[in-house]
Each structure stands twice: as C-alpha cells, then as structure tokens.
Chain A
Amino acid sequence: MNRTQQPVIRLENVSVAFQDLLVLEDVTLTVAAKSFLALIGPNGAGKTTLLQVILGLVRPIRGTVRVFGAAPWDIKPENRRIGYVPQVMGIDLGFPISAFEVVLMGRYGRLGLCRRPAKADRAAALRALERVGIANLADRPIARLSGGQRQRVFIARALATEPDLLLLDEPTTGVDAASTESLYELLRILYEDGVTMLVVSHDVGVVASYVEGVICINRRIVAHGLPEEVLGSEELAQMYGCDAMFFHHGRVPHLCVERDE
C-alpha cells in the first residue's frame, strides 16, 4: 500500500454550526489514499454533516477542508472524483425511474449543462451496474427493487462517476442481514480495487470485520484507530451514554448497547 501519496481527505480544526447549534467541533482528521474507514457515532453526532463537509455541501465556520488537496467547493464538476451514496430514506421510491436511469445520473455532473448522455456515458452506467451485480435489473423501476438491490443501484450511481473516493451514508439501513454482508463484500472488492472509502454505519459489529480503521464521532472525534482498539475503548461506551458491552467474535469485538426502556 502506497502511504507516501498525499492524503485524500484532510480536515483541520473544522467546526460547523447550523444557526447557533454547533454540530461539529474542532474536528481534525486525515484519511490516507486507498484506506477503508468506518464512521460511527450516536444519532445527531454529526456523521452526515461530516460527509457533507467533505462533499462541499456544507461550509465550516472555522477550519480548513482539503479533498485531493483542494477545497471541495472549488473542484470543477469534470474533475470531481467523489462518489456519494446517500441515505435512501431521502429518496422518493414512487418516482417513475428505472435503475439504469438512476445510475446514469452519476454522469450528469461531468456532462455539464444541456448536454445529453452519450454512448460512453450509457456504457459507463451499465458497467457500474455490472460491477454491483445487478445489470439484469437495469430496466426495472426502482419501486420494484428490494432494499438491498436499491442500495446497489445507488452504489452503482456513485461508481458511474468513476470515483477515487467513495462516501457512503448508512448503506445498510432497511437491508436484511444476508444482504448487509454481501453489500460489505462488494465494498471490500471496491477497496481492493484502490477506491478510498468512508462509510457511516450503525452495524458496528459487521463493519469492524471489513474496515481497517474506525472513527468514533460525537460532535468531536472521540476515538480513531484500529477497529479492535476503538470498539474496545472506554470512550465508546461513554459516548453511547449507556451500558455498552462487547463480546468477541473471532478477532472482532461486537458492541451491544442496552437501550433505556
């Protein structure tokens, strides 16, 4: 693994506020090229906001953000190498659109205004669908896909941008256990192909066996390290604010959180 390359993401003392609510505070984070990291934390910890900062959708009130060495909002559409898989909750599933059409949208940015997708764009979209293993469903309306298949469509859409950095926001919400495993298998293959990946996840146990590092965030960065270090730490238990227990399944500690009734 080539660690001498410039970091893909570099955040320095980044703070973000929505009106007078501080959502992220003094976050400093470096993500090296070709790494696969999980971002975990309780609800409202600022995980999605952190991704939005990296995407250039949200500007911090303090601190510097560099993605591939540049401020993300300064990167020209045709030079963007960032793929994003949003939470599917925000998507209208009744929208009359096919899997292929959704994936083709990944090409719109580099096409620019008023230009129609060309043959090369259609080929790239189809390749992305093949890569996530659902090319046979290309023509199917998204309303008639299962949760796992729909997630693959959105991953394919991110891949159609031909990204060097892939950001995923809870890609396994509403996906059953078997599909969750196969989704992470797919992410592992992409990682082995050299894509840098940052995935927001609630499946702390599953994600730990795939990623090479875990970042724990609760407005500030609480812990950052190897999965077994972070997931076994006192901070994590404190962060979830209730009794957290770990049991070990092979090498990987699993987190059990007791919820208040």
Chain B
Amino acid sequence: MIEILGYAFMQRALLAGTLIGIVCAIVGVYIVLKGLSFIGAGIAHASFGGVALGFLFGVNPVLTALIFCLATAWGIGLVARKGQVKEDTAVGVFFASTMALGILIIGLMKGYNVDLFGYLFGSILAVTREDMWIAVGLGLAIVAVVALFFKELLLVSFDPELAAISGLPAAKLYFLLITLIALTVVISIKVVGITLVSALLVTPAAAAYQLTERFRRMMALSILIGVGSTTGGLLLSYQFNIASGATIVLLSTLVFFIATLCSPRRWRRRANLKRAAATTAITR
C-alpha cells in the first residue's frame, strides 16, 4: 500500500483530493444549511458545456469549465434574484441547456478521442500537474475567502433579512456564496467527475449536520469526513482499480448513513416522542 505513494500521479491525486475534500466540506456546510444543493448540482452539470468548449478550442477544459460555471452560477443568481422565476426553476432551465450545449459540441467534433469518461466520473490518472496546481491555488483562495467573510456567510445562511437590515450587502454575499460553489465544482471535476461532484458538495456536510448542533464543530467534522472520503476513496480506487469519483462518493454516503444512525438529533426526537406518549398515557 505504501509504495503507491511513490507514484507521481498518485501524489498529485492525493494532494488535489485533500484540497477538494476540504473545500467541498466547507462550502457544503453553507449549501446544506441554506438548502442550495440543487444549485450545486446545476452548476456541476453546466461544467460539461465548459469542458466540451475546452476540447473544441484545444485549451485546458478546466479553464473553460471555470468560465462556464461562473457564468451559469451568476445567470441562475440573477434570474432568481430578479424574481422572474423561482431559484429552482432557474436551475432547472440552465442545468439541462448547458449540458445539452456540451453534448452538441462533443457531437460536432468528428473523431474525438478524448477521455470524456474521466471528466464525467472522475479518474486518478487524469489529474495533471497543471490541474493539481489549479486545485491547490483555487482551493486555498476559497478557504481564505470563507475565513475572511466567516461572520457574513454565517449571517446570510441563517437570517438574510437581518443581513439586509444591518446594512450588510446581502445580495452581494449571496453571489459570493454561489461563486464559491462554482469554483469548488471546477477544481473537483477531474477527481470526482461532473456527475458526482454535487454529492461530495452535500454529503460530508450533511453527515456532520447529523452529529452536532454547533456551527464550528459541524464545519470541522465536515472537513474530516470530506478529506477522509477523498483520500480514502482514491486509495481504494487504486487498490481495486475502480472509478475514483464513485468510490469517494459511496464512501462519504456510507459515513452519512452511520452518522444518521448515531445522530443525537435523532435520539432526542425519539426521546421526545416517548415522553409525549407517556404524558398522553398518564392524562388518559
């Protein structure tokens, strides 16, 4: 097992995977608490259009996906903010159309021989040196922005109305949050895959939510579960020669189910139900 750490591709995948695990877990906390998981999924699928454009123009697909994801995220935000349609309707429209654009472009490129499968489902071998540095650079930038706007992001997640009343730029903070989601998607697609990244955005944070009622602790647990899932998933994927994205996502899902079973929230709800039943019995 140790000798695989000697391979350069594995080192790149593990370094990128660790940062992806951290960033998905942090951004995921806001996604779970604010109910933005459909936006996450929408932006992730939009990246397919960006990847296809990258192939078409012969540039690194991660860079075109970056531009495409940001445009989609802001498009969804603008349409939803202007109140023309509901947020999830806006996601529904962008989600399929950007994916369709990608399929169209791929279809037009006669005789392409690129590894599309890797982009869709994630692959350890696909992480190039350039991808790794993009993941490290953007990943650290996302962590820094969250640290800088920690109290603002907490406030817009919990009570956006108070943010507006306090004179804080609530709308801009919302756009900051969906921008962070878009950047997180972009750095994750190589390792986890376009179709699976939305799960990694939600599952570690959702598992952490089951285990605590404290915000900072939720974020810490989410990071622990996120990094555990990406690094553990990468090692298992190498060992058994299976798709890295699927392994990572299924590992985090396993943790989610275990967390749900031991959740103090769940036990308290049960205790409350029992107490209520006992009271009814007495009054009867």
Contacts and interface: CB of A to CB of B under 8 A. Distances in A.
State whether these chains interact: yes
B161 A109 contact: no
Given A96-B218, A108-B155, A86 B161 contact: yes
**Helix, strand, loop or mixed for chain B's interface?**
helix
A3 interface: no
B168 A96 contact: no
Nearest to B166: A109
A110 B149 CA distance: 15
Contact of B161 (A82, A90, A96): A90
A120 to B, nearest CB: 15
Nearest to A104: B151
B168 A105 contact: no
A91 B155 CA distance: 12
A17 to B, nearest CB: 14
Contacts of A110: 166
A117 B152 CA distance: 11
A105 B159 contact: yes
A143 B272 CA distance: 13
Contact of B167 (A77, A94, A117, A144): A77
Interface stretch (B4-12, B61-69, B91-99, B207-215): B207-215
Nearest to A19: B83
Contacts, number: 82
Contacts of A57: 161, 164-165
Contacts of B215: 95-97, 101
Interface string B152-176: 1011011101111111110000000
A96 B214 contact: yes
Interface residues of A, number: 34
A113 interface: yes
A92 B149 contact: no
A200 to B, nearest CB: 15
B108 interface: no
B114 interface: no
B165 A141 contact: no
A157 B212 CA distance: 23
A204 B268 CA distance: 36
B148 interface: yes
B236 interface: no
Given A108-B152, A141-B213, A77 B158 contact: no
Interface of A: 55-57, 75-77, 80, 82, 84, 86, 90-92, 94-98, 101-102, 105, 108-111, 113-114, 116-117, 141, 143-144, 157, 161
Interface of B: 33, 148-152, 154-155, 157-159, 161-169, 209, 212-215, 217-218, 265, 268
Given A86-B159, A105-B158, A143-B265, 11 more contacts: A56-B165, A76-B167, A84-B165, A95-B157, A108-B163, A108-B168, A109-B166, A110-B166, A116-B151, A144-B213, A144-B268
